[in-house]
Structure 1
Amino acid sequence: MARCPASGLIPMLLLGMAAIGGAITDARAQDNATSSATPPNPSLFAPPVPPVVSTGPLTFAPLVRQVGPAVVNIAVAQDSHTTTSRQPLPPSVKGTPFEHKFRERMRAHGEEMLGAGSGFLIDPSGVIVTNAHVVGGADLITVSLADGTEFPAHLVGSDDLTDIAVIQIHAPHPMPFVPWGDSRLVNIGDWIMAAGNPFGLGSSVTAGIVSARGRDIGTSPFDDFFQIDAPINPGNSGGPSFNLGGQVVAVNTAIVSPTGGSVGIGFGLPSEIVAPIVEELRHNGHIDRGWLGVTLTDGSGHDGVQIVGIDRNGPAMKAHLHIGDVITAVNDEPIDTSRMLIRSIAAKRPQSTVVLHIRRHHEALSLPACVGHRPDEDMDD
């Protein structure tokens, strides 16, 4: 299930479900060839030095025991009485040991299975974070805990632009939960452990490092992903990635894959973006973002971003901005790229006033603007 158009022959995939497949190769010929090769001359190598990293986890087992109970599996379905045509069995289930189980479940409950994914509890009352695409279109949401206990869940709110959703279960006792960590403290090369429900097989974990920060994968103006090499696959979508302290620093969202399986390039949305979204969804059920009503371009040869189009009914027109103006700052926040401006305005409350610092020809101006409500459709700003 592609989240954005393919780049060359390598599609960007949501971490939804896909059939298990692959091949096992015999490496004995390679082993024989390696053993018969001439050993390299030791003088080619520099003398040994102490490792840059002096300590590291000998095992992730304590971390898994700590956070595992808060990681959940999510199954989504539609009521077969409300669907007009029968849906096929999800590829994640077809051909796996779970196909028979899901067919029995659908027959017993009159459900049309849509797919499955992952999530994690952030509050003892049963609040769960996952991806919006995991629960989108679902009539029925079932959450399974690590011990196999199942609960029905309802959707609290979702945000398609960041692909984040919040769901809620009502349990008879306080639930285990995991805290947010500060993703701003995560460095390239740091350990990270991903948890989830790949291919519908049940809860599992993988470990690796943060490969890059600030990745833009073309899914929305708010892309700012961690790239991680901990293997994540279809079904891990919505699951957490942890630092070594057991804190959630990212939500697993997408993979790059030519085959539908992991090739070691996955993307998680950092907690610094997710946590505020989750709080607003919990309290309001939706995200109300600010909007300026301009089309922008980078690379104008100046600091700031240039306006190349203005919505005739938008806040920018009412603030007397002109095509060709270069916006250099919002309030006291310098603006270098169109993405910075979009995020800055989106973070403002609609109907609040901001001061836009602009350059018009060779003149510096400061214009107040009343921020509007961002339309549902995707706009430049």
Structure 2
Amino acid sequence: MTETKDRSNFKKILKNSTVAGLAVAMMVGAVPLVVLNAYAEPVTVTAPQVPSFSDVVAAVQPAVVSVRVQSNIQNTSNDESNFSFNFGGRDFNDLPDDHPLKRFFKEFGGPGGPGGPNEEARPPRGPKGHGRHEGRLRPTSQGSGFFISEDGYIVTNNHVVDEGAAFTIVMNDGKELDAKLVGKDSRTDLALLKIENPKQKFTYVKFADDEKSRVGDWVVAVGNPFGLGGTVTAGIISARGRDIGSGPYDDYLQIDAAVNRGNSGGPDFNLSGEVVGINTAIFSPSGGNVGIAFAIPASVAKDVIEKLKDGGTVERGWLGVQIQPVTDDIADSLGLSEASGALVVSPQAGSPGEKAGIKQGDVVTAVNGEPVKDPRDLARRIAAFAPDTTVDVALWREGKATEVKVKLGELPTEQASATEGTEEDAAPAPAVEQELANLGLSVRPSEDGKGLAIVDVDPDSDAADKGMKAGETITSVNNQEVSSVADVQKVVDQAKKDGRTRALFQVQSESGSRFVALPINQG
């Protein structure tokens, strides 16, 4: 009776107690009692899944290639007199034949050695499929590219292929193919290659619609960084419309996908496998990736590549005026309601703009009815037209809106852009120095009688803040030529009567001409 009661009590203890991490064995009568270990369940978390890029990569990777470039390296002269060696006052030829230095040079290109002055000249040999070239072909650069057609057209950067003489395309599977240069465009840093004698159809990709690309969208960069072909990185579009100072057509996408040297010319894909941009530059203090890369937008690339494919060159419209941004101060001095458009510093002699009647001090506000935001916007709009196209250019002139028709010319090969003009020297000549009241400027008439040479600038003045310096010349105020302090004062007084708070000074320096708006309501 007592044994039965003890067994019942022990069962109650086990039922009401938790024993963790212990093994208990007891004998109750003749039956052993065992308590097993208790363990916690493994941690599991249910969380939103980040989209995988594997499907995109699998689809587009065969279309992305590595681009290897070789350039001509001119052979050195075979004239032995060009080789000079002095050892202890003796010439190379004075050394004994068994001298270690003489043996070294014979083996590695010195006089009497392979390729040295005493060896019979041999014609240089180019790589297979490229024939013979002047000089020797040496690897000079490598980058990335991608197919845009099944018959072998490849897009890359101009700076990757520039000055190249032979081009090798390395496909994702390691296969190497020869390519030729179809055309290149330095202003947008784009180039087009073509596989020579293609014997297969290639996987290719297409350009995306820029209007659908937004800041914050995912991008997948595929390329050949540091020669490591087939590398994939991912990020987002960080910004649009970036100007990095590389030219008048800067309109880059900024992305934060890891881009390094060798990625140049490589594509950035959206999640639909379309090319949204072409990598062209990185911002990096160290030379490596810091999360700021710049890509040529698909819309720019598509237009340029089509022109290269058709004729190997890109023809752009040319207006021929030097322009600068319209700041708030300049807009106020000209009576504009907002700071937009492009201020004409000067039309170039004989240019389409000059022939159409565009004058210095005009503000280009629209082209064919489309508003112009700034000088870069104007440069891109004009460049998008073919030469000989007639366009309507809206202007703001002397406080009124007007319009002229311009038959565009062709941007000259060496013409930098619509934003660059001719330089003129403006040297001050000895004359009586005078003060421009309340402007912080000391001036005197220029040597040729056109304008006022700046002799001194008050460092605490607005003129100094706007970058005006001694040695520069004031050529006009509010688009009226001035040659004396009295001329300036007359224009300023009239501006005050018109309710203006600033006057627009045209300043000539060694680097060109520009407009500066200065306050005139002081004192």
Q: TM-score, normalised by structure 2?
A: 0.57
Residue of structure 1 aligned with 2:357, choices 314, 317, 320: 320
- For residues 178 and 244 of structure 2, what CA distance do their matches in structure 1 show? 33
Confirm or deny that 1:149 pairs with 2:149.
no
Confirm or deny that 1:74 pairs with 2:101.
no
Residue of structure 2 aligned with 1:164, choices 177, 190, 205: 190
- The residue correspondences of 1:197-276 to structure 2 (distance < 5 A) are 197-276=224-303
- For residues 329 and 190 of structure 1, what CA distance do their matches in structure 2 show? 31
Q: CA deviation at 1:355?
A: 1.2
Residue of structure 1 aligned with 2:401, choices 355, 364, 377: 364
Q: CA deviation at 1:334?
A: 1.1
Q: CA deviation at 1:183?
A: 2.4
- For residues 238 and 373 of structure 2, what CA distance do their matches in structure 1 show? 25
Residue of structure 1 aligned with 2:308, choices 278, 281, 289: 281
Q: CA deviation at 1:111?
A: 2.7
**What's the counterpart of residue 392 of structure 2?**
355
- For residues 108 and 137 of structure 1, what CA distance do their matches in structure 2 show? 16
**What's the counterpart of residue 291 of structure 1?**
318
Give the conservation status (yes or no) of the 8 Å contact 1:315–1:369. yes
What secondary structure does 1:124 align onto? coil
**What's the counterpart of residue 518 of structure 2?**
none
Give the conservation status (yes or no) of the 8 Å contact 2:222–2:267. yes
Could you tell me which amino acid in structure 2 is paired with residue 62 of structure 1?
Answer: D
Q: CA 1:55–1:358 in structure 2 vs 1: closer, same or farther (change >3 Å)?
A: farther
Q: CA deviation at 1:83?
A: 5.5
- For residues 271 and 55 of structure 1, what CA distance do their matches in structure 2 show? 29
Q: CA deviation at 1:56?
A: 4.0
- For residues 219 and 292 of structure 2, what CA distance do their matches in structure 1 show? 13
Could you tell me which amino acid in structure 2 is paired with residue 216 of structure 1?
Answer: D
Confirm or deny that 1:196 pairs with 2:189.
no
- For residues 393 and 76 of structure 2, what CA distance do their matches in structure 1 show? 51
Could you tell me which amino acid in structure 2 is paired with residue 259 of structure 1?
Answer: S
Q: CA deviation at 1:211?
A: 1.0
Q: CA deviation at 1:322?
A: 1.1
Q: CA deviation at 1:108?
A: 8.9
Residue of structure 1 aligned with 2:54, choices 58, 61, 70: 61
Could you tell me which amino acid in structure 2 is paired with residue 217 of structure 1?
Answer: I
What secondary structure does 2:349 align onto? coil
Q: CA 1:84–1:253 in structure 2 vs 1: closer, same or farther (change >3 Å)?
A: farther
Could you tell me which amino acid in structure 1 is paired with residue 344 of structure 2?
Answer: I
**What's the counterpart of residue 164 of structure 2?**
138
What secondary structure does 2:286 align onto? coil
Could you give the per-residue CA deviations for residues 165-198 of structure 1, whole angstroms, max 9, x where no partner exists? 0000032011111111112211111111001000
**What's the counterpart of residue 373 of structure 2?**
336
Could you tell me which amino acid in structure 1 is paired with residue 372 of structure 2?
Answer: I
Could you give the per-residue CA deviations for residues 279-336 of structure 1, whole angstroms, max 9, x where no partner exists? 0100010110011110112123134222111101101111011111111111111112
Q: CA deviation at 1:209?
A: 1.0
Q: Which has the higher contact order (CA 8 A, sep 6+)?
A: 1
- For residues 402 and 318 of structure 2, what CA distance do their matches in structure 1 show? 20
- For residues 116 and 319 of structure 1, what CA distance do their matches in structure 2 show? 46
**What's the counterpart of residue 343 of structure 2?**
306
- For residues 402 and 216 of structure 2, what CA distance do their matches in structure 1 show? 43
Give the conservation status (yes or no) of the 8 Å contact 1:76–1:134. yes
What secondary structure does 1:297 align onto? strand
Could you give the per-residue CA deviations for residues 202-244 of structure 1, whole angstroms, max 9, x where no partner exists? 2211011111111111101111111111101000000000000
What secondary structure does 1:65 align onto? helix
Could you tell me which amino acid in structure 2 is paired with residue 192 of structure 1?
Answer: V
Q: CA 1:270–1:199 in structure 2 vs 1: closer, same or farther (change >3 Å)?
A: same
Q: CA 1:155–1:108 in structure 2 vs 1: closer, same or farther (change >3 Å)?
A: closer
What is the aligned residue count? 307
What secondary structure does 2:379 align onto? helix
What secondary structure does 2:229 align onto? coil
Q: CA 1:84–1:168 in structure 2 vs 1: closer, same or farther (change >3 Å)?
A: farther
Q: CA 1:84–1:296 in structure 2 vs 1: closer, same or farther (change >3 Å)?
A: farther
- For residues 193 and 83 of structure 1, what CA distance do their matches in structure 2 show? 43
Question: Which structure has the larger Rg over C-alpha atoms?
Answer: 2
**What's the counterpart of residue 380 of structure 1?**
418
**What's the counterpart of residue 438 of structure 2?**
none
- For residues 347 and 202 of structure 1, what CA distance do their matches in structure 2 show? 35
Q: TM-score, normalised by structure 1?
A: 0.77
Give the conservation status (yes or no) of the 8 Å contact 1:199–1:234. yes
**What's the counterpart of residue 93 of structure 1?**
none
- For residues 55 and 322 of structure 1, what CA distance do their matches in structure 2 show? 60
Q: CA 1:317–1:84 in structure 2 vs 1: closer, same or farther (change >3 Å)?
A: farther
Could you tell me which amino acid in structure 2 is paired with residue 362 of structure 1?
Answer: G
Q: CA deviation at 1:79?
A: 3.9
Could you tell me which amino acid in structure 2 is paired with residue 76 of structure 1?
Answer: V
Could you tell me which amino acid in structure 2 is paired with residue 323 of structure 1?
Answer: Q
**What's the counterpart of residue 99 of structure 1?**
none
**What's the counterpart of residue 34 of structure 2?**
none
**What's the counterpart of residue 96 of structure 1?**
none
Could you tell me which amino acid in structure 1 is paired with residue 193 of structure 2?
Answer: I
Could you tell me which amino acid in structure 2 is paired with residue 68 of structure 1?
Answer: Q
Q: CA 1:108–1:315 in structure 2 vs 1: closer, same or farther (change >3 Å)?
A: closer
- For residues 204 and 256 of structure 1, what CA distance do their matches in structure 2 show? 20
- For residues 206 and 346 of structure 1, what CA distance do their matches in structure 2 show? 34
Give the conservation status (yes or no) of the 8 Å contact 2:169–2:179. yes
- For residues 199 and 225 of structure 2, what CA distance do their matches in structure 1 show? 28
Could you tell me which amino acid in structure 2 is paired with residue 130 of structure 1?
Answer: T
Give the conservation status (yes or no) of the 8 Å contact 1:184–1:272. no
**What's the counterpart of residue 111 of structure 1?**
137
